[in-house]
Chain A
C-alpha cells in the first residue's frame, strides 16, 4: 500500500514537470509565423465545402510555402477581426460593409478584388401562405412586402440571420427598397427604435442553421420565410435535411426594384493594409488573391459541386 501511494505521488509530480516542459516546448514549435497566412472569411465558403475541397488543397499545391489558416466567421466579424489586425487577407460578401473597410484605409488596394459570385434565393414553406411564388417569383422587394403583409396578418414569419453577415446585410438592403416601416437598424419594426416587428425573427445563427430554423419554424402563425444562399439551400435539400421549404423567389428581373443584380451575392477579397495593422503577410495575401482569380481555380468553380448546379460562379459569368 505504501509503495502505491508513493508511486502515485511521484507520478503526479512527474506529470506536473512534464507539463511545464511540454508547454515550453510547444511555444518553440509555433514559431516561423512569416509563412502562416491568416484569412478571415465568410462561413459560406466553408459550409458549402468549397474551402475544404477546392481552396485548401488547390492553394497548398500552388503555394506550398504558405500555411493557410482560414478563420470562417460572418462577414461582420471577419471585417472587425481584420481591422483588429487578425488577418492578412479578407474574403467577404457584403459590399456596403466592405466599402467602409476600404474607406477607413484597411485595404491595401483602393477597391476589392471580385473573386466569384453566388446568388441568394428566398425560401418559404411549401404552402407559401404569403403567395410569393405567384406574386413575386422574380422580385425580391415585392416578395418581402408580401411576407410583411402576411406577417402582420399573423400568417407568416421572416427569419433573419440577424448577425451582420453578408446575407444579413443584403437582406437589410432589400428591406430598404420596400415600403415596409423600418426601425433604426434597417429591420422591419416601428421607426425610430430598435424593436423589430412581431413576425421578424433574428436568429444569430449560421447560414445552414438558419435554414433549419426556418424549416422548424417554432413561431406563432408558422409559415417561415428566409433569404439564403442558393448553394447552401440546394445542398441541404439534396441531403434531405430540408424538405419542407422551397425556393419562392429568385433571379431578380431587370425591371424589378433593385434590378437584376439584387440577389447576386458578390464575394470580394482584400489584402490588409500593413500601414494600418502590424505584421501583415502581404506577399502571402497577394498569393491568395492571385490563386482565387487564377484560370484554374475559376474553371474549377463551374464544376463545384457539379456542373448542373454550381454553388459559385466565376467572375462575370453570373448565375
Chain B
C-alpha cells in the first residue's frame, strides 16, 4: 500500500514539476497513439466499409482475417516488423528501426483490424432500406459510403476508441521495434516495463497512474463525441 501512495505522490510531482523526461515520454506516447490510430482509420474505414457493404469474391475470408486480427499478438507483430526493418532487411532502407515512426507503423498494423472489424460490423447494422432510398435519389457510391459511416458513427467511434486504447497500452511491439530507448522511444507503458526491470517500483507506479489518467481523458473525449446527438428515448423513457 505504501508503494501506491508513494507512486501517486511521485506521479503528481513528475507532472507538476514539468519533468523533461516525463514530458518526452508523454510526447512519444501521444505520437504513437494518435498517428497509429489515424493511420489505422485511414486504411481501416475503407476496408471495413468494403467488408460490411461490398459484394465481392473473398469477402468472407477478409472478414475472418480482420476478426482474427483482433487477437493479433503484439509481440509477434513487433518481432516481424522489427526483423523487416533491421538494417539490410527488406525494409531496412526506411531507417525506421528503433524510431518512433517504426513504432507507429507496428501499432497501426495492430490497430487496423480493430478499426476494420468494428466498422464492418457497425455498417452492416445500418438498415438496407436506407441505401435503397438514397440510391433512388441518385446517390453515388461515395455518398452511400459516407451515409453508412454517418449512420454507423457510434460503432465507428467505438472502433477509434478501441484502436487508441490499444495503442496507449501496447508494450510488446513497442519494445521490439522501438528498442525502449531512454528519452527517445519510450512510451508510458514501455517505460513502466523498464522501471520494473530496474526495480524502481515507485516510478513505475507513477508512470502507470499517469498512463491510466491519459487513457481516461482521451477516451472520455471520444466518448463525448460518440454520444453526442444520442438524446433519443432510452428503454426507460416514455
Question: Which chain A residues have a beta carbon within 8 Å of chain B's beta carbons?
Answer: 1, 4-6, 8-9, 12, 15-20, 22-23, 26-27, 29-31, 33, 38, 43, 46-49, 51-52, 56, 69-72, 84-86, 205-209, 211-212, 232, 235-236, 239, 241-242, 277-279
Contacts and interface: CB of A to CB of B under 8 A. Distances in A.
B168 interface: no
A15 B194 contact: no
B199 A8 contact: no
Say whether chain A's binding surface is mostly helix, strand, loop, or mixed.
helix
Contacts, number: 116
A274 to B, nearest CB: 11
26 contacts: A4-B228, A5-B229, A8-B150, A8-B153, A9-B149, A16-B41, A18-B38, A19-B39, A19-B42, A20-B39, A23-B35, A26-B101, A29-B101, A30-B96, A38-B98, A46-B198, A56-B182, A56-B183, A69-B184, A71-B180, A208-B196, A208-B197, A209-B197, A232-B199, A278-B92, A279-B87
B165 interface: no
B87 A46 contact: no
User: Nearest 5 CB-CB pairs, A to B?
Assistant: A19-B38, A208-B199, A206-B197, A16-B42, A47-B198
Contact of B86 (A9, A86, A208): A86
Nearest to A235: B199
B4 interface: no
B104 interface: yes
A12 B148 CA distance: 13
Interface residues of B, number: 40
Q: Which of A16, A27, A206 has the most CB of B within 10 A?
A: A16
A28 to B, nearest CB: 10
A1 B229 contact: yes
Given A12-B156, A209-B196, A86 B181 contact: no
Contacts of A277: 87-88
Contact of A71 (B104, B146, B181, B228): B181
